[in-house]
Every structure is written in C-alpha cells, then in structure tokens.
Structure 1
Amino acid sequence: MLIDNPTGGYRFLTGISPFSSGVVANAGHEVVHATLDAQVPWRQGFEQIDAHLAAVGRSRPALCAIELRCPAPYSMPDFIEFNAGYVELVRSWDLYVGDHNPLARTNVAPANEPPAEPVLHAFSYTVEAPADAPTTFVVSGAGEIPEASLDDNEIIRKGETGPEAMREKAAFVAATMGSRLAAMGAGWSLVTTTDVYTVFMHEGLLEDAVIGQMGPATRHGMRWYRSRPPVIDLDFEMDVRGIRNEIIV
C-alpha cells in the first residue's frame, strides 16, 4: 500500500516496522541521495543527517531513506533486537506516519573491510522541485525472503549457495524489485542505479537471473558490492533507485 507523507514530500510503500519497502517523491519534490564521505557510527550519523538537513533548509520529515553497513550478518533474533533500537530513534524524530515507519532502508555486511560497529553509509531526503520534475525514488534493499517476513525458515533455498540455488535467489529478489517499482508507480525504465549485494557471484548469475528482468535499466549497468545481506542465511540482496541528484557529504 502506498501512503502519502505530505510533511516529508513523498509517498512510501508500506513494509515492516523497521522500514518501508520504498519511497517516491510527490509532485513538486525530488529525492536527493547523499553518500557520506566517511562512514560514522549510525547514531552519530543521524546527528550528521540532522545538521545537513538544517544546512539545506529541510526539516527532519524530509528524510526518506537510510543505508547502513554492519560488521557481520545478524541472527534473526539479533536483527530484530537491532531494529528495536533503530525504530526507537526514528520514533524519537517523530517520523512515523500513524503506525508506519516511512523510511526506506538498506543494511548490509561488507565482506571486505567491514566496520567495527553498525555505521551510516548514505541517506536520502526530499527537496522542493518543479511540479513537472521527473519521478525520483528509492526502493529498500530486499533479500530472498517473502515480503514482510522475519521468519528465517521462509528464506528461499536456505543454506544453499551453489549456482542453481543462487540463480533462484537472485531471480526472486529481482522480481521483488520489479513488484515494488510497479507498486510505487515507477518501473525499470526510471531506474538510474541498481545495487547488488552478495559474496556468491557465480559465473552467469546476473545474466541468467537479473538482467532479463531489468529491461531498459541495464543501460545504467549495475554495481556489485561484495557484501552479505544483514541476516544469516540470506545470500543475495538488491536495491534500486531513480535519482537525478547524487552528492557526497
């Protein structure tokens, strides 16, 4: 379900308590994507976000997406515990819309040079734009588990990382991206960035399972992060976005 967040200048696709499934700018707004020049502990990162929003004349509700990096994948109970602290901070900013957390999110564990603690990697926010500005959006990261599930027994091909299993996992995740895009009134033709997170990059994996679903978005290529999804036994994750303004802060 797509819900309007008028104080933030965007709509969001409902997800689960810790995050939404994606955000899309309202008419008269656009989404800006900001990558940190140097990663910082995630709570300190929110302070940096606050300062940046103030500097560009935007209030806290303009924040619409968060990208985190964690030291290693969590067990599902530990992931739920981390999310409880994250949700508490988001609520303290008064960002919830009713019972829904509107912020999109990606949270992955780098396989190389992982952080010592969870850190903020990037964030997105809305700014005012002409009414006819192109549609801009961020789709949350998703792994090979059904939407809204926090049951690790529902992971697709759990415990399997061979070529056939990874193709099935990757195809499932790419389809999730497509369905979220459609639900947000966007589509692959509007995607400017496609991120892939896995340590099991078998030969032909992307060609067999992902590229055929991306259609026109393939002209922008893909970025592969040798990283693991945030939960043990998840092996493939993606996120996508359609952004005209990418900055380093």
Structure 2
Amino acid sequence: MLIDNPRGGYHFLTGISPFSSGVVASDGHEVVHATLDAHVPWRQGFELIDAHLSATGRGRPALCAIELRCPEPYSMPGFIEFNAGYVELIRSWDLYVGDHNPLARTNVAPAHGPPSEPVLHAFSYTVEAEAGAPTTFVVSGAGEIPEATLDDNEIVRKGETDPEAMREKAGHVVATMGSRLAALGAGWGQVTTTDVYTVFMHEGLLESAVIGQMGAATRHGLRWYRSRPPVIDLDFEMDVRGIRHEITV
C-alpha cells in the first residue's frame, strides 16, 4: 500500500515495523541522497542528520531513508532487538504516519573492515523541486525472504549457497525490487543506482539472475558490496534508487 506523508513530501510503500519498503517523492519534491564522508555510530548519525536537515531548511519529517552498516549479521532475535531500539528513536522523532514507519532502510554487514558497532552509512531526504521534476525514489534493501515477514524459516533455500541456490535467491530478490518499483509508480528505466550485497559471488550469478532483469538501468552499471545481509542465513540483498542529486556530508 502506498501512503502519503505530506509532512515529509513523499509517499511510502508500507513494509514492517522497522522500515517501509520504499519511498517516492511527492509532486513538487525530490529525494536527495547523502553519503557520510566517515561512518559514525548510528545514534550519533541521527544527530548529524538533524543538524544537516536544519542547515538545509528542512525539518526532521523530510528524512525518508537510512543506510546502516553492522559488525556482523544478527540472529533473527538479535535483529528484532536492534530494531526495537531503532523504532524507539524513529518514534521519538515523531516520524511515524499512523501505525506505519515511513522510512526506507538498508542494513548490511561488510565482510572486510566491518565497524565495531552499528553505524550510519548514508541517508536520504526530500527537498522542494520544480514542477514536473523527474520521479525520484529509494527502494529499501531486501533479502531472499518473503515480503512483510521476519520468520527465518521462510528464507529461500536457507543454508544453501551453491550456484543454483544463489541464482534462485538472487532471482527472488530481483523480483522483489521489480514489484516494489512498480508499487512506487517507477520502473527499472528510472533507476540510477543498483546495489548488490553478497559474499557468494559465483561466476555468472549477476549475468544470469540480475542484469537481464534491469533493462535500461544497466546503463548506470551495478555496484557490488562484499557484504552480508543483516540476518544470519540471508545471503543476497539488493537495493535500488533513482536520484538526481547525490552529495557527501
């Protein structure tokens, strides 16, 4: 379900309590993507976001997406516990829309040089834009598990990482990206950044399971992060976005 967030200048696709499935700028707005020059602990990161939004003349409701990096994948109970503290902070910012968390999110564990604690990697927010501006959006990270569930028994080919299993996992995730794009009123042709997160990069995996589904988005290439999804037994994650303005803060 796509829900309007008029205070933030965007619509969001409902997801689960810790995050939405994606966001798209409302008419007269666009999404800006900001990557941190250096990682900071995630709670300190929200202080940085608050200061940045204030300096740019935008309030907290303009925040629409968060990207985190964690030291290692969580157990499912551990992931749920982390999300409880994260949700508490989001609620303290008065960002919920009714019972829904509107913020998109990606949270992955780097395989090399992982942080010692969860950190903020990047964030996105809305600004005012000219009438008729191109559609801008962020799709939340998703792994090989059905939408709207945190039941690790539902993981696709759980515990398997051979080439065939990874193709099936990747195919599931690519399909999720496509369905979320469609629900946001966008498509692969409007995607400017495609991110893949896995440590099981078998030969031909991207060609057989991902690139062929990207259509016109292939002109922007694809970025592979040798990282794990945030939950043990998830092995392949993606996120995508369509953005005109990328900045470093």
TM-based fold match above 0.5 = yes
Query: Aligned equivalents of 2:38 and 2:218: distance in 1?
Result: 29
Query: Aligned equivalents of 1:152 and 1:212: distance in 2?
Result: 28
Cα deviation 1:77-109 (Å, max 9, x = unaligned): 000000000000000000000000000000000
1:212 Cα deviation after fit: 1.2
Match of 2:205 in 1: 205
1:110 Cα deviation after fit: 0.1
Match of 1:100 in 2: 100
Match of 1:68 in 2: 68
Question: Among the aligned pairs, what percent are the same residue?
Answer: 88
1:31 Cα deviation after fit: 0.1
Matched residue of 1:94: which SS?
coil
1:28 paired to 2:25: no
Match of 1:48 in 2: 48
Match of 1:237 in 2: 237
Match of 1:196 in 2: 196
Query: Aligned equivalents of 1:148 and 1:128: distance in 2?
Result: 31
Match of 1:160 in 2: 160
Alignment of 1:70-85 (within 5 A): 70-85=70-85
Q: State the AA in 2 paired with 1:131.
A: A
Match of 2:91 in 1: 91
Q: State the AA in 2 paired with 1:78.
A: G
TM-score, scaled relative to structure 1: 1.00
Query: Aligned equivalents of 1:211 and 1:71: distance in 2?
Result: 29
Alignment of 1:132-147 (within 5 A): 132-147=132-147
Matched residue of 1:215: which SS?
helix
Match of 2:15 in 1: 15
Query: Aligned equivalents of 1:206 and 1:150: distance in 2?
Result: 26
1:15 Cα deviation after fit: 0.1
Unaligned runs of 5+ in 1: none
1:37 Cα deviation after fit: 0.3
1:6 paired to 2:6: yes
Q: State the AA in 2 paired with 1:51.
A: A
Q: State the AA in 2 paired with 1:55.
A: A
Matched residue of 2:158: which SS?
coil
Match of 1:219 in 2: 219
Matched residue of 1:90: which SS?
helix
Query: Aligned equivalents of 2:75 and 2:131: distance in 1?
Result: 44
Query: Aligned equivalents of 1:28 and 1:144: distance in 2?
Result: 35
Query: Aligned equivalents of 2:166 and 2:89: distance in 1?
Result: 35
1:8 Cα deviation after fit: 0.1
4+ residue runs of structure 1 moved beyond 2 angstroms?
none
Q: Number of aligned pairs?
A: 249
Query: Aligned equivalents of 1:225 and 1:212: distance in 2?
Result: 19
Query: Aligned equivalents of 2:150 and 2:196: distance in 1?
Result: 21
Query: Aligned equivalents of 2:212 and 2:38: distance in 1?
Result: 35
Cα deviation 1:99-158 (Å, max 9, x = unaligned): 000000000000000000000000000000012100000000000000011000000000
Q: State the AA in 1 paired with 2:227.
A: S
1:185 Cα deviation after fit: 0.3
Query: Aligned equivalents of 1:58 and 1:72: distance in 2?
Result: 33
Query: Aligned equivalents of 2:185 and 2:135: distance in 1?
Result: 9
Cα-Cα RMSD: 0.3
